[in-house]
């Protein structure tokens, strides 16, 4: 068993603490982000094509994450000078979709000694002993890990899906509901299942016009997109 997988953090765990040098200066995590959500993601290395497209996409959606009280933190095994030189190349040379002259302004950690990568289980030895996979950790405003995603080095992430997951998590917290497969804001959410026989009978006889009772354990409820964003977006 490799030491970087023995104590990998899991959903529901406190996010492991660290101090790191980033392209925006030193950060102390999670203390510096108290009261805010965080997307912590790793990329294998600088000056790589898939990573470049991901960084452009994250940057283009940065304001949408900020509206949801969320900061983005990147990480790779590269040095700060390497990160900055790569950012300069992205700004000066890349013209893709609507992305040109893009300034990457979210912090990117230089994890040269692999300390944070191993702490978070971002090194998968059968892929590489020295490069991270594409890991994503969604960490809530209390420092709790709420979602973990892993992608191989060859497959770029869907940043809109990461935003959708974040929105779903915050909707669950705000309204006490779950979200079904393929949910997007404005489509029905799922009510908690009844916990007693009495509640089960009551649920099946419900006449609430805003709910759709499929069976006692599956009930959909209308939740308008405007109501969701009214509660979760930070002005």
CB 200 within 8 A of CB 176: no
DSSP three-state, residue 138: strand
The sheet with strand 189-190 has its strands ordered as 189-190, 218-221, 211-215
What burial letters (b/e) apply to 29-65, b meaning 16+ CB within 10 Å? Answer: bbeebeebbbbbbbbbbbebebbbbbbbbbbeebeeb
Q: Return d(Cα 195, Cα 191) in angstroms, integer.
A: 12
As annotated, the active-site residues are 51
């Amino acid at each position: 068993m490799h030491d970087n997988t023995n104590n990998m953090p899991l959903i529901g765990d406190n996010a492991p603490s660290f101090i790191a040098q980033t392209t925006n200066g030193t950060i102390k995590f999670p203390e510096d982000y108290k009261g805010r959500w965080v997307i912590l993601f790793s990329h294998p290395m600088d000056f790589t094509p898939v990573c470049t497209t991901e960084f452009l996409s994250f940057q283009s959606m940065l304001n949408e994450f900020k509206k949801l009280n969320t900061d983005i933190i990147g990480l790779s095994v590269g040095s700060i000078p390497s990160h900055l030189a790569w950012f300069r190349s992205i700004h000066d040379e890349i013209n893709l979709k609507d992305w040109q002259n893009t300034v990457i302004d979210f912090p990117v950690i230089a994890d040269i000694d692999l300390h944070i990568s191993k702490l978070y289980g971002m090194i998968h030895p059968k892929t590489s002993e020295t490069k991270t996979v594409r890991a994503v950790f969604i960490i809530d405003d209390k420092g709790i890990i709420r979602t973990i995603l892993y992608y191989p080095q060859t497959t770029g992430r869907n940043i809109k899906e990461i935003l959708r997951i974040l929105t779903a998590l915050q909707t669950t917290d705000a309204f006490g509901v779950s979200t079904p497969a393929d949910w997007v804001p404005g489509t029905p959410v799922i009510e908690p299942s009844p916990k007693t026989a009495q509640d089960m009978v009551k649920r099946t006889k419900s006449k609430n016009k805003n709910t759709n009772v499929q069976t006692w354990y599956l009930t959909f409820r209308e939740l308008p997109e405007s109501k969701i964003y009214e509660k979760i977006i930070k002005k």
